Each structure stands twice: as C-alpha cells, then as structure tokens.
A and B are shown apart, each in its own frame.
Chain A
Amino acid sequence: TLRLICTTTAVQRKNVGASGPEKYTEAFIKKQIEEFNLGKRHLANMMGEDPETFTQEDIDRAIAYLFPSGLFDKQARPMMKHPTEVFPEQRKIQWGEDGRPFHFLFYTGKQSYYSLMHETYEKFLNVQKHQDQLIAQDLPLQKEKRNLAGSRWLTKIELEEMLLEKLSDDDYSRFIQLLQKLVALPCADIEENYIQKFCKEVPVQLQRVVIEPLQYDEQGVAFSTGEGKRKTARATAIVYDNGTGKITVNGTDILHYFPVLQDREQLLFPFQFLGRIGKHDMVCTVSGGGRSAQAGAIRLASAKALRSFVTEKEVEFMRQAGLLTVDPRVKERKKPGQEGPRRKFTWKKR
C-alpha cells in the first residue's frame, strides 16, 4: 500500500468506504423487528383485515396495491419483509464483557472452519479407535458401502453459508479430502449422522425416456406413433406391424411424393438399420419445410415409433447412430452490415 507523505489534512481523512460492510448491532435488528410488526398491524387495519392472521402474501399484495410501481426490476419495487430476510446474517461480537472470547479457537482467525476440522478429525480418531477395538476382539469389520452415486459433497459457497465465514479454495479442498478419508474407513457407519450433514442428494439427471408400449387396432395389428421435426417441417408417423413395406405420406405413395432418391433413402434408413425393411407399413403426415426437411422429419418420427418394436440394446444402437436426435441446425439470420449470415459485402480497396 502507498503511504501518503506530502499531503493535506483533507486527503488524510479516514476513507469511509474502507471500513467494510455495515455491521448491524443486535439492538438495531431488534428495533427493526419491532417496527416491522407494528407496521404489519397498521397495514392490516388499513386494508380492513384481521391483524392476527395477516400473512406475508397479504403484506405483499397490500404493498403492491398501495404503492403501485411500473418499474421492470421486481427487486426495485417497494417491499416490506421481515428484517431477518432483509439484513444478511452476521457474526455478533465474539467476546464477553471481561474481554475473553467465547470460542476456544478465536485467535486463529477462522474459528468456525478450524473447529469444523477439529471435530471431523475427532470423529476420524473415534472411528479408528472403534476399528482397533473390533480387531482386538477379532470381530469382522462392517463393509456396507455407502451409495456414492446419488450424493455429492457441499460446494464451497454452501459451506461458506453454513460457517458464516470466508473460505479459500485450499481450505475447502482440505476439508473435502478429510471427509473422503473418513468415509473410506470400513467402520465409518458409526459417524453416519455427522457425515450426512455435508452430503446432498443429486437428482437423477438422466431423463429416462419412457418407451411407449405397443397399441393394437381393430384387426389386432400392433402399431405405434412417433413425432419428428427438422428445420421448419413437422411430421407424425404411425408404423404398423406385419406389413409389406408400403409407405404413405400425406395420402400419396412415397414414389410420387418424394421423386428424388436421396429423400427416399432418408425415409428407409431406420428400417434398413434395424433390418426390418419389408416387415413394417407406415402412414405419415408432414407439413412445413422443404423437400429435404420433410424427409428428415419423417425419418426422425419413424425412428421414434420403431423404439416400441425393438429391444433396449437396439434402441441404444439407434441413439448412437444418431437416428433419435433432433437435428438442431436452422437457418442462420442475416446480420446488418453483411450480405448474408456469413458473407460480407465485396471489399473495395478505394
């Protein structure tokens, strides 16, 4: 930091902004809570409702009615909330009247973090002692593995919120390593409650795509439906079992609807991949897009319909072949100052 030597007294005045975030005393917060409760009763009387059963939603509605604001940012509008939600939680004064701090690790600077490490290490030693006792008595060590797949450790931000203290990345990684060491011990089940405080359930991210079961029509023939899209084309396909390989699009045969060979190949690709060319009938409807887009849409729709006829392994093969993914490519917009999406105007030297 720079030390000012030849300066005026005005410049050397204490920098007000450097004092850090505002510290709210307990008395201040108490006063705010009293004012809030009083204000809540006044508001209830003004709105003509019962002060005893006036909930936070009623308060929000009343404030929105009395102080209408057209501001876009919801957080800039007038609001009336309980002071504990408005003022962030802060550390109170850490020492008593005689000056002695309350926490025995106060002088380290990061008392909550180091006390957490101390406790965790104590649990670790406990588990080791228990293990030694079991070995001394020749009992087998429990080997029930915790399900690690569905849970994750707390993130650094969550831990900071828990401890009300700033942590560094190094501190956080050390804590996680210690927890992992603790979990790796065979008799760690004793301290399961303690470890659960630092675990979180991870929701299963894979959206298990539900494969619909086959439906049966009047004659008893199995069929299934699928929808697909490509660029601007949308298609629905109904695939029937015990067929001869006849494909109808919008009421017309594919030979008439798609004169080009490439489009017909696109339609037949899912059947060819599964080796079921002559076994299925298909009826599709398609709208929008151009010739190639419609072909791609029907291809996707038929692949989705075929999932119901086929084993899970083959579904996985289809997915890996790219038959079940929606093609995300659409027409890119034209930008100002350029002739097209990418093409720039001809550059003239002079």
Chain B
Amino acid sequence: DDKLLTEPLSHPDFFSVKELFTLKDLFDARVHLGHKKGCRHRFMEPYIFGCRLDQDIIDLDQTVQHLQLALNFTAHVAYRGGIILFVSRKRQFCHLVESTARACGEYAHTRYWQGGLLTNAHIQFGPGVRLPDLLVFLSTLNNVFEPHVAVRDAAKMNIPTVGVVDTNCNPCLITYPVPGNDDSPAAVELYCKLFRMTIIRAKDKRRQSEAIEELR
C-alpha cells in the first residue's frame, strides 16, 4: 500500500501528461487570446507575451509549462483517490463542465456559490463531510467580474487550487495557475478534454497497480 503511494512520486512525469497536448493544439484552440489592454490585471503581466492592436497575447511557452504542472498535480490527486471539484461561473459552459465532471466521476459546482460551503461545511451539510481535495477553476471570475469566493475559501481551508487565469484575473491565491483564455468555447472544450483524460488515466493506472499488487 505504501509502495502504491510513493512510486508515482519518484518519477517527474509518471502519468506522461506531456503527450496529451502540444503548443499547436493550444494555439488552434485560441488559448493565447487575452482581453483588451485596459482589462489587464497587474499580476498577469509576467505571463503576457505582448499586445497587438490593444489585445493582450498570452505567452504559450509559459502556458505549456504551467499546464503540464497542473495536469500532473491533478493526476496525482486523482491517483490517490482525492475529491476534485470543478468550479466555473460562466453560464455558457455550465453544462459542459458538469458533463465533464460526471464523465470523470468527480464533482462540479457551476451555480451560485453559497457563502459557507467550504468554511461552514459541517453546519451546511452535516457532521462528517469530506471536503474536496482539489479545486479546478475553468474561470476564476464570477458573473460580476470579481474574483470567485472559492479561491479565497480554498486558501483559507488549505485546499490546493488549479485555475485557468485570463488577463483580467488575479493569479495570486491559486496554487497552480494556468494563464490562458477562459472565454472561447474552443479553449474551454480543450481544457475539459485534457482534465477528463488526465483524471481517467490516473484512475485507470491506480486500478491497474492495485490489481498487480493483489496478484502478488
């Protein structure tokens, strides 16, 4: 049992996450497109490649590195049987995110976030609830273009977060930010596909390792 948990940690890329996507895929899905110069957040400046005709272009080299780290982390969390909660407050992609979560066997929350969900969970749900072990944000802002409450709550409850940060978002409180477009349907479908594939891969690997251990 101990070997099951320590073995993946010895390899840098145990789940071969780098094969899932290339820079060209990101470019084709329009991940590099940001918002206009006026919407730019100060802390996103290191991730921006440049500005063309007033529209910010995100540096895809950095995006590739961040995305690999993020997918690797989600794969490890899924391998260890952690609860992953997909959060997004974009109405366009609400259905897509929920279907992705259902396909992975994980959980989603794309609706109105009630104040004490994470911080007051024992009273909201009942004693003995298990909180999510990872929060994945497909969009860090809520409908009023302010940072989503879950970012701050996860930081309070020591829950790691993975989030797609656009040029108008604040990447400070997110453990594994992924600079990229969060408004185009193509980009969000790509993210959903990637997360789904990593989680399913990690769970399959876990089942295989357990089966091998039982055979011994």
Contacts and interface: CB of A to CB of B under 8 A. Distances in A.
Interface residues of A, number: 19
Interface in A95-112: 95, 98-101, 104-110
B98 A109 contact: no
A122 B95 contact: yes
Given A118-B95, A118-B98, A107 B132 contact: yes
Contact of A114 (B105, B111, B126): B111
Given A99-B130, A109-B114, A109-B117, A104 B98 contact: yes
B114 A104 contact: no
A104 B95 contact: no
Interface string A290-324: 00000000000000000000000000000000000
B89 to A, nearest CB: 12
Nearest to B116: A109
Contacts of A221: none
A108 B83 contact: no
Contacts of B95: 118, 121-122, 125
B41 interface: no
Contacts, number: 47
B101 interface: yes
B72 to A, nearest CB: 22
Given A118-B95, A118-B98, A107 B81 contact: no
Contact of B107 (A93, A99, A106, A122): A106
A104 B102 contact: yes
Interface in B101-139: 101-102, 105-109, 111, 114, 117, 124-126, 128-130, 132
Interface in A109-160: 109-110, 114, 118, 121-122, 125
A106 B108 CA distance: 8
A101 B84 CA distance: 11
Contact of A107 (B99, B105, B107, B128): B107
Interface of A: 93-95, 98-101, 104-110, 114, 118, 121-122, 125
Interface of B: 81, 83, 85, 95, 98-99, 101-102, 105-109, 111, 114, 117, 124-126, 128-130, 132
